[in-house]
Amino acid sequence: MRIEGKLFEKPNEVVCFIFRHNQEPIEFRAQAVLDYKKFDGICPAPEPPKRLMASGEVQTLFNDPIYDKKITEWATQRSDWMILESLKATPGLTWDTIDADQPRTWKNFRSELEAAFFTPMEITKIINAVMEACGFTSEKVEEAHKSFLAGQGKNLNNESSLSIEQIDTPSGEHVKD
């Protein structure tokens, strides 16, 4: 695929530098995660429970508290996996307590960063770089929204229908409220 002749050769990547006094900057690279099949294979999304009604209809219970807990845990694991997968673009980054095939270990990236004396703000900066690389920042969403609306504004000039309210009907009488 090309846009205006431009070829896209690799996923989006964001570089995040952590600056410390009298030290070389610490560089993290976050790359957009394009494929979640590996995650889905390890952690399939939980299914909501179902109930058979007297009428024979099967009702899906999306508000079940156990399902709510499971879907929240699944979403957290998905987020943790995405962060780890994105940060694989960082040269030389290794984790001591994380096993890529063990979902219960994925959350350890936070404690490992803390143990390496990264502050909460520095950890947030790293996570924000991942979100930016993956296209999840509120600024990007707002920018896309404005761009979409600007494009819609251009199309409004080409409308085939009236762009103002009619005052009179074809018969010449005034339009009633």
Q: Taking residues 157-168, what's their average pLDDT?
A: 51
Q: Taking residues 47-53, what's their average pLDDT?
A: 91
Better-scored residue on pLDDT, 61 or 154: 61
Q: For residue 112, what are the domain limits?
A: 10-44+78-143
Give the whole-angstrom CA distance, residue 12 versus residue 28.
14
Q: Is residue 168 part of a domain?
A: no
Q: In the structure, what pLDDT confidence band is assigned to residue 156 with cuts at 50, 70 and 90?
A: very low
pLDDT of residue 136: 79
If you write DSSP's letter for every residue of 35-54 in order, what string do you get? --HHHHHHSPPPPPPEEE-T
* pLDDT surpasses 60 at 154: no
- In tens, the pLDDT along 51-75 reads 988 898 999 999 999 999 999 999 9
Structural domains counted in the chain: 1
Are 81 and 99 in contact by the 8 Å Cβ rule? The answer is no
State pTM to two decimals: 0.72
Q: Is residue 176 part of a domain?
A: no
CA distances from 14 to 66, 134, 146 (A): 37, 9, 23
Q: Is residue 89 part of a domain?
A: yes
Q: Is residue 95 part of a domain?
A: yes
Q: Taking residues 122-132, what's their average pLDDT?
A: 96
- In tens, the pLDDT along 90-125 reads 999 999 999 999 999 999 999 999 999 999 999 999
Taking each helix axis as running N to C, give the angle between helix 65-87 and helix 120-133, from 0 to 180 degrees, rounded to the nearest 10. Answer: 90
Q: Is residue 29 part of a domain?
A: yes
pLDDT of residue 7: 87
Cα torsion 99, 102, 105, 110: sign? positive
Q: Is residue 70 part of a domain?
A: no
